[in-house]
Chain A
Amino acid sequence: MAEFKKAGSMLEWFDQRLGVINFTKVMMTEYWIPKNINFLWAMGVLLTMLFTMLLVSGIFLLMYYKPDVNMAFDSVNYTIMQEVAYGWLFRHIHAVGASVVFLIIYIHMFTGIYYGSYKKGREMIWISGMLLFMLFSAEGFSGYMLPWGQMSYWAAYVITEIFGGIPFIGDELVVWIRGNFYVADATLTRFFMLHVLLIPLAILGAIVFHFYSLRFPHVNNEKGEFFDFEAEEKKYLAGDKKGSKVIPFWPVFLSKDVFVMGVFLIFFFYLVFFHYSFAMDPINFDKADGLKTPAHIYPEWYFLWSYEVLRGWFFEIAGISGKSLGLMAFGFANVIFLLIPWLDRSPLVKPANQRPMFKYWFWLMIADLMVLTEFGKLPPTGPNAWVGFGASLTFLVLFLSLPIITKMESKKKAGGK
């Protein structure tokens, strides 16, 4: 055992045993962030905070929630909402938080795409981030089932049915996932387990991994500039704070993040107290009934774009059924963002507005996602079905053309010099 001297202070006592001084330096006071950033760089900290709020509100809901088809609906809508003191508050925080966390995830994600923060050494940051997006999607889907309302039931039904499209094993796979021939008690209880234990554990692990993946390539900046972090760190530590291009995570970066957080929290609690109904669909206040399909089934807003990609394909092409085409497009939509670091063939790391062709691609993609989201909630009849098809096709074409566009762009750049 190492020789321990008598500690002169409590800090020294802990430092001897846990190395807290060095740990604080590595994690906080000497973790360097570029100066040249804007409020969009605060989204990561916002997401960490939102996840914490979801975790805490979830723990309180967990104390009264009952994962049983006969009790789930009343445990949420009667016990938690009416009997438990402030139960409504935790439910509203949880429901609004689950919706808003996706808003911030999308802002975070599109900031990354806009500034090219996924390439030249930042690939693992992007991949771990997309992994988090998938885990949050699974978490949102499994959680939506728990109140056991009509939308819970039918969303669960339709989404698990999607696995039936997998060749050969599809039908058995659906029964296996549900634990029954239909969405039943076994389904509710196992998705409850996924929602409160397995997926949150995976999310925690993925968050740690995502943070870790930032340490070597460092955070990108507004101009996509590459500079020597060690040299800038030395400058800062030597006292040239003005000349250095970096600031420490704590307290300098976080002091600004706390301001963004404050503004965000005003918005967030305005929603929680006065405008929570957008996150709680009225149809879900009818108890689940497997024999009565609601007239119109749609997912929460954050899944609408991929849902519209799925159902945009409503007719047969070249002998392949609309259902299979939709499933293929849906599968494509769910993995394609993961591959962006390799679809973008231009080595340039610059904000989109400084890239001659990518800027059009970026805003077209955003516009297409908005159209998909808008039409994903409308009934798919008449012209709506065709807009859905067009937007879904546009989505595929946009991503398939990204390598060509970016290749052309980098050639143009080289030729211009």
Chain B
Amino acid sequence: MMDESRRGFIGKAFGAVAAAGGVASLIAMKKTWDPLPSVMSAGYTTVDVSGLEANKLQISVWRGKPVFILKYTEDMKPTDGRSVKVGDHYYAVMIGLCTHLGCIPGYEEDKKMFKCACHGGEYSPDGVNTFGPPPRPLDIPPFKIDGQTLVLGEEGPEYKKMTAKA
């Protein structure tokens, strides 16, 4: 110790208490800004896919985010690791936010592609980025297949298989 006097000890003790209090306050402040428990638990969205039309984009909402569900037409080939088979049909299931800066791409049915109006990013119908600034394909939300319905927010075996591959 540099200063072994009583005053030096009191100074260090005060410093230690103040530091502990400061750290504790910072933790409390950080946690106050955390999402609330109700926000964290809000949410499983179920979507019945049996009534969907092929090549028509269905947009569902999960945790405030749009989720694209696109039923493939007969001539659209399923993509390995990205297409979801529910019943006899293949679907693309993905979060409808451009991976560049989070805008919502629109689906152009005639050209069979997604186009983001914000910065010109383009995606194939299975959500793979084909042009522009997007750094990666559209994200796939955790899902579980339950008969003809999709449960968004729960990790089913099909989802686990997909993420294991990636």
Residues of A at under 8 Å CB distance from B? 154, 157-158, 161-162, 175-182, 184, 186, 190, 290-293, 295-297, 311, 313-315, 321-324, 326, 379-381, 385
Minimum Cβ distance to chain B for residue A138 (Å): 16
Contacts A186-B39, A291-B66, A293-B103 given; indicate if A176 touches B33 (C-beta within 8 A).
yes
Q: Which listed residue, A176, A178, A291, touches B59 by the CB 8 Å rule?
A: A291
B103 near A179 (CB under 8 angstroms)?
Answer: no
Contacts A179-B35, A180-B39, A311-B133 given; indicate if A293 touches B117 (C-beta within 8 A).
yes
A296 near B35 (CB under 8 angstroms)?
Answer: no
Per the bound structure, the CA–CA distance linking A313 and B101 in Å amounts to 13
Contacts A161-B101, A181-B39, A295-B117 given; indicate if A323 touches B34 (C-beta within 8 A).
no
Asked if B87 is at the interface (CB within 8 A of a chain A CB), the reply is no
Indicate the size class of the contact surface on chain B. Answer: 20 to 34
Contacts A180-B39, A182-B63, A322-B135 given; indicate if A190 touches B33 (C-beta within 8 A).
yes
Asked if B27 is at the interface (CB within 8 A of a chain A CB), the reply is no
Minimum Cβ distance to chain A for residue B136 (Å): 8
B100 near A179 (CB under 8 angstroms)?
Answer: no
Minimum Cβ distance to chain B for residue A112 (Å): 32
Q: Which residues of B contact A190 (CB under 8 A)?
A: 33
Per the bound structure, the CA–CA distance linking A109 and B36 in Å amounts to 42
Asked if B86 is at the interface (CB within 8 A of a chain A CB), the reply is no
Contacts A179-B34, A180-B39, A314-B133 given; indicate if A323 touches B102 (C-beta within 8 A).
no
Asked if B49 is at the interface (CB within 8 A of a chain A CB), the reply is no
B33 near A297 (CB under 8 angstroms)?
Answer: no
A175 near B133 (CB under 8 angstroms)?
Answer: no
16 residue pairs from A and B, CB less than 8 Å apart: A161-B102, A162-B101, A179-B33, A181-B39, A186-B36, A291-B61, A293-B117, A296-B118, A311-B133, A313-B133, A314-B119, A314-B133, A322-B135, A323-B100, A380-B119, A385-B120
A182 near B65 (CB under 8 angstroms)?
Answer: yes
Q: Which residue of B lies closest to A190 (CB)?
A: B33
Per the bound structure, the CA–CA distance linking A177 and B33 in Å amounts to 7
B119 near A311 (CB under 8 angstroms)?
Answer: yes
A297 near B103 (CB under 8 angstroms)?
Answer: yes
From DSSP, what is the main secondary structure of chain B's interface residues?
loop
Asked if B132 is at the interface (CB within 8 A of a chain A CB), the reply is yes
Q: Which residues of B contact A311 (CB under 8 A)?
A: 119, 133
Asked if B157 is at the interface (CB within 8 A of a chain A CB), the reply is no
Per the bound structure, the CA–CA distance linking A311 and B101 in Å amounts to 10
Q: Which residues of A contact B134 (CB under 8 A)?
A: 323
Q: Which residues of B contact A158 (CB under 8 A)?
A: 101-103, 118
Given A179-B33, A291-B104, A322-B133, 15 extra CB contacts under 8 A:
A158-B101, A179-B34, A180-B35, A180-B39, A181-B64, A186-B39, A190-B33, A293-B103, A313-B133, A315-B133, A322-B135, A323-B135, A324-B135, A381-B120, A385-B120
Contacts A186-B35, A190-B33, A321-B135 given; indicate if A154 touches B103 (C-beta within 8 A).
yes
- Scan B29-44; emit 1 where CB is below 8 A from any A CB, else 0: 0100111100100000
Per the bound structure, the CA–CA distance linking A311 and B39 in Å amounts to 32
Q: Which residue of A lies closest to B116 (CB)?
A: A293
Per the bound structure, the CA–CA distance linking A179 and B132 in Å amounts to 30
Per the bound structure, the CA–CA distance linking A217 and B87 in Å amounts to 77
Minimum Cβ distance to chain A for residue B153 (Å): 11
A290 near B135 (CB under 8 angstroms)?
Answer: no
Q: Which listed residue, A154, A296, A323, A379, touches B133 by the CB 8 Å rule?
A: A323
Q: Which residues of A contact B117 (CB under 8 A)?
A: 293, 295-296, 379
Q: Which residues of A contact B35 (CB under 8 A)?
A: 175-176, 178-181, 186
Per the bound structure, the CA–CA distance linking A291 and B58 in Å amounts to 13
Per the bound structure, the CA–CA distance linking A321 and B101 in Å amounts to 13
Interface set, chain B 98-153, CB cutoff 8 A to A: 100-104, 117-120, 132-135
- Scan B6-33; emit 1 where CB is below 8 A from any A CB, else 0: 0000000000000000000000001001
Q: Which residues of B contact A380 (CB under 8 A)?
A: 119-120
Task: Report the 6 A-B pairs with minimum CB-CB distance, sorted nearest first.
Answer: A182-B64, A321-B135, A293-B104, A293-B103, A314-B133, A181-B63
Per the bound structure, the CA–CA distance linking A182 and B103 in Å amounts to 12
